[in-house]
């Protein structure tokens, strides 16, 4: 727990690039402990805010405090960061990946790198969900006070998303780490996050604490097109599979 009891404090933060403002007038005071979700469409400013949290880059306006300190590269020793593409050495085995993580980080805790998958396979042969779990294990084994995740469940199927979030919630319950993550999968958030921040067009439009209060304003209603796309893809894949089976039956392939 920080002296202020806050994981993240921003005051009038903005970040401007050549094409314009990616984030403007962002003022937040988010408590330490639990799971904080950043929600918003593409271009809302989620990744910009996450990058400011880890000290890369510096804000154009305002101030950022992480775990009671100014956000600089030096704060990275207390922060675990997991990028959306889960960068891993594909030719390493899972065991070699964990050994590499231990050699690169003095705070690495082998006991926290608990995986429900075999240690012998090469990382490149694992499914997307399993690779995400390996990357999460590496980030957690750093024993961070704050774990920052950029779209951690993007590209994962529903089962892999569920398994990933189960591991994440277990780590929060056991280790007391604060988690800050961005996501488009809005309907998964109600059961995992304690604090919700909605961004749109570079500005904070809503902050809510407590899952039970999300009924006042449901982000799923705002971003319902994402759920329709998921449903449409599921129906399309199911129709294709049924069509293949019917064709094989008619032509006695099966």
Band of residue 25 on the pLDDT scale cut at 50, 70, 90: very high
What pLDDT is stored for residue 214 in this prediction?
A: 43
- Least confident residue range of 54-68, 105-119, 170-184: 105-119
- Alpha-helical (H) ranges within the chain are 46-53, 94-104, 128-141, 158-175, 219-222, 224-250
Return the CATH architecture of domain 6-218. 3-Layer(aba) Sandwich (3.40)
pLDDT tens per residue, range 117-160: 788 999 999 988 888 888 888 888 888 999 999 988 887 888 88
From the centroid of its chain, how far is CA 197?
14
DSSP assignment of 189-248: GGGT-SEEEEEETTEEEEEEESGGGGGGS-HHHHTHHHHHHHHHHHHHHHHHHHHHHHHH
pLDDT tens per residue, range 58-77: 999 999 999 988 876 677 77
Q: What is the mean pLDDT of the chain?
A: 81
How is the chain split into domains, by residue range? 6-218, 223-254
């Amino acid at each position: 727990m920080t002296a202020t009891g806050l994981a993240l404090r921003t005051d009038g933060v903005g970040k401007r690039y050549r094409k314009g403002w990616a984030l403007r007038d962002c003022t937040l005071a988010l408590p330490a402990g639990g799971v904080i979700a950043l929600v918003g469409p593409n271009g809302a400013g989620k990744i910009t805010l996450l990058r400011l949290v880890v000290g890369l880059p510096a804000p154009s306006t305002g101030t950022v405090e992480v775990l009671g300190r100014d956000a600089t590269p030096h704060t990275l020793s207390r922060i675990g960061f997991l990028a959306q593409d889960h960068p891993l050495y594909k030719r390493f085995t899972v065991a070699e990946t964990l050994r590499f993580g231990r050699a690169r980080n003095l705070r690495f805790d082998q006991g926290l790198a608990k995986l429900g998958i075999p240690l012998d396979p090469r990382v490149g042969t694992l499914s997307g969900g399993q690779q995400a779990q390996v990357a999460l294990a590496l980030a957690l084994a750093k024993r961070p006070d704050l774990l920052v995740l950029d779209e951690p469940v993007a590209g994962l199927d529903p089962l892999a998303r569920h398994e990933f979030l189960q591991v994440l919630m277990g780590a929060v319950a056991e280790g007391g780490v604060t988690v800050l993550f961005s996501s488009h999968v809005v309907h998964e958030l109600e059961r995992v996050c304690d604090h919700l921040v909605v961004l749109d067009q570079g500005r904070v439009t809503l902050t809510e604490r407590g899952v039970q209060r999300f009924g006042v304003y449901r982000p799923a209603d705002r971003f319902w097109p994402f759920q329709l796309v998921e449903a449409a893809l599921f129906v399309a894949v199911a129709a294709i599979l049924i069509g293949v089976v019917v064709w094989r039956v008619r032509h006695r392939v099966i």
